[in-house]
Each structure stands twice: as C-alpha cells, then as structure tokens.
Amino acid sequence: MTLLKVDNLKVHFPIRGGFFRRVVDHVKAVDGVSFELQQGETYGLVGESGSGKSTTGKAVVKLNNVTSGQILFEGRDLAALSRKEIKPFRKDIQMIFQDPYSSLNPKKRVLDIIAEPLRNFERLSPAEEKKIVQDFLDKVGLSPESIHKYPHEFSGGQRQRIGIARSLTLKPKLIIADEPVSALDVSVQAQVLNFLQDLQQEFNLTYLFVGHDLGVIRHMCDRMGVMYRGRLVEEGNSDEIYDNPQHIYTKRLIAAIPDLEPEVREEKVQLRKKLSAEYESSYSTFFDENGRAYDLKPISSTHRVALQ
C-alpha cells in the first residue's frame, strides 16, 4: 500500500535583493522530485549537503511552503491544505531532527518536551500523561526519573532518544528522520540506528530517512533515491544502487566512500580518476544544457535513472 506519494515536488526559495527587497531570483532547493513510500518500508534520500534532502523532508511536514507539486498522504494532497487543515495529519507524520541540541527546548523539562504533542491532541490527566511519557522513555532506553531533568543534563545520543520519544507519542504512521545520527559520535550512531529499526518493527512505522552517508542509508533503507541539486538522479533498491550504480553522480558518491584497506585505496584513487573523466565526457547524457538532471527513466522494474 502506498502511504506517501510525492509527485513532481518543487520548493523554490525567493532571493530578495535591491532597494525594495524585491524577489530577484529563486533557489531551486527542490526542483521536480517524485517518489513513493510503501507502508512499512524505509526509503532513503541520499545526496551531498545542499542537494535539497532536508527541504524535501520538511515540505512533507509543512515546514516549507511548497511551490508546486503534490504530496499525497493516504491519498490526500497535503500540499493543497492550509496549516489549519493539516493539523489532523500532524498526528500521522512526525519528524526527527538532525541536531539533538537545538531540537529540544533548553528551558523545558523532559516531561514537558515529550508531552507537548499529547497536550495538543489529547485530553489527559497529569497522571495519565506522566505514565505515557515514562512508558515512552522506557521504550527509548531512558530512566523514568528523567522526566524532571532538562535537556542539557543529557548526552547527544540521549537527547536524540528524547526527540525520538517525542515523535512517537502520537503513534505516527510516517516518520521523517532528517540525518538523525549525523550529529552523534560514531560509537552511538549504530546504537541509535538499530534502535530506530527496532521501533519500526514495534510500531509498524514507515521511515523517510534522509542522510548523506551512503553506508548508513544502505544499512537502514529498503529503497533509496539519490538527490543532486534538487533533483532525483537515481532511484532503486538499496543493493541495486550500491552494487550497480548507473548515474555518474551516484557512481562518484559511492567511489567517495572512504576505504580503510590500503590495497583497495589505490584502486579507489584510480576509480575516482576514471569517473572524473567519465563525468567530463558523458556530461550531456546525464544533464541538459542548463546542468539540470533529466527526468527518471526506468531501466528495470525497480531501478530508475535520470538519463537523456
């Protein structure tokens, strides 16, 4: 079942300039992106910094205004709804933010942070509320006494768990995870990732997982889309993309993954040189005269690539 269908999504930010601060140009942060998420799967959006991944994710939760295109959630177009009309959908779609330091209000206790969504949607007695919050704290591996503490008393990994608990309290169907581990120490990254997978099982969640680390995305995601300058350049099953990349940008992205074994390192350097040459020579098969990636074309039943 299709849970989320993003169709030709465009998010353009105006650039203002001049004396009257008129709109002089647009940043085409997202410029015609389409993908679908099936119920229960994890879909990854990968690409370099600035490629428009976060903007795509934020558009789904209405943190950005959509310039054009559709965001169909269970068949309803969220892009066409006003902020008021979107409120019931807030329960179903939640977001986990990249920075665990700025995503929790420093002046609020954990109880108030995690209970905030509950207070917006449900009428609960303080005791019921506390019980629910403590249950979720337990689920994310924090002690129930944490409710009286403030965010600065926790480590980055623990804070991210608090953010995750907050996003779970309304029992959402879809979670947008915007680089949920990239601000964390490598040692706790795997921990949080595995734990996100456990939660997916338990709560039957669908993830839109945003990241710049192909390794992490491959580990987490069933399918992924590769973004480049606001466009999807390749989409398919994670293994397909990783083992058989077709778009030059995807190839370069994979070749850029650092390798620890010295023998392979030399090989990698050669590969990168080769790809660099291929990029120059075959530029026009992948990008039009404006440097914009072409629309995706299927090359197998699951694999799509932006080719001429």
Determine, following the binding rule CB under 5 A, whether residue 54 of this chain makes contact with Mg ion: yes
Write out the two tokens for 221.
């995601």
Which residues ranging from 155 to 194 are in contact with another protein (CB under 8 A)? 163, 166, 170
Q: Which of the choices Mg ion, another protein, ligand ADP, none does residue 55 contact, using the CB cut-off of 5 to 8 A by kind?
A: ligand ADP
Written as one letter, the residue type at 3 is: L
Q: How many residues interact with another protein (rule CB under 8 A)? A: 35
CA dist 189 → 36, 59, 130, 269 (Å): 27, 26, 29, 28
DSSP string, 165-233: HHHHTT--SEEEEESTTTTS-HHHHHHHHHHHHHHHHHHT-EEEEEES-HHHHHHH-SEEEEEETTEEE
Strand partners, 71: 6
* Under rule CB under 6 A, residue 53 binds ligand ADP: yes
Q: Report in angstroms how near the CB of residue 213 gets to another protein at its nearest.
A: 20
Quick one: 47 or 151, whose CB is closer to ligand ADP? 47
Q: Considering only residues 87, 273, 274, 297, which one is a binding residue for another protein as defined by CB under 8 A?
A: 87
Out of 5, 7, 13, 108, the residue judged to bind ligand ADP by CB under 6 A: 13
CB of 161 to ligand ADP, least distance (A): 22
> Which structure tokens are listed for 39?
């119920």
> Is 123 a residue that touches another protein (CB under 8 A)?
no
Q: Which element (helix H / strand E) includes 273? A: helix 262-281
253: three-class secondary structure by DSSP = helix
**What is the nearest approach in angstroms of another protein to the Cβ of residue 59?**
12
Q: Does 182 bind ligand ADP (CB under 6 A)?
A: no
Q: Which partner from the list ligand ADP, Mg ion, another protein, none does 47 bind, CB cut-off 5 to 8 Å by kind?
A: ligand ADP
Among 15, 23, 24, 63, interactor with another protein by CB under 8 A: 63
**Residue number with CB closer to Mg ion (54 or 246):** 54
Residue 121 partner contact from Mg ion, another protein, ligand ADP, none using kind-dependent CB cut-offs of 5 to 8 Å: another protein
Shortest reach from residue 89's CB to another protein, in Å: 9
Site residues, another protein (CB under 8 A) = 58, 61-63, 87, 90-91, 93-95, 97-99, 101-109, 116-117, 120-121, 145, 148-150, 152-153, 163, 166, 170
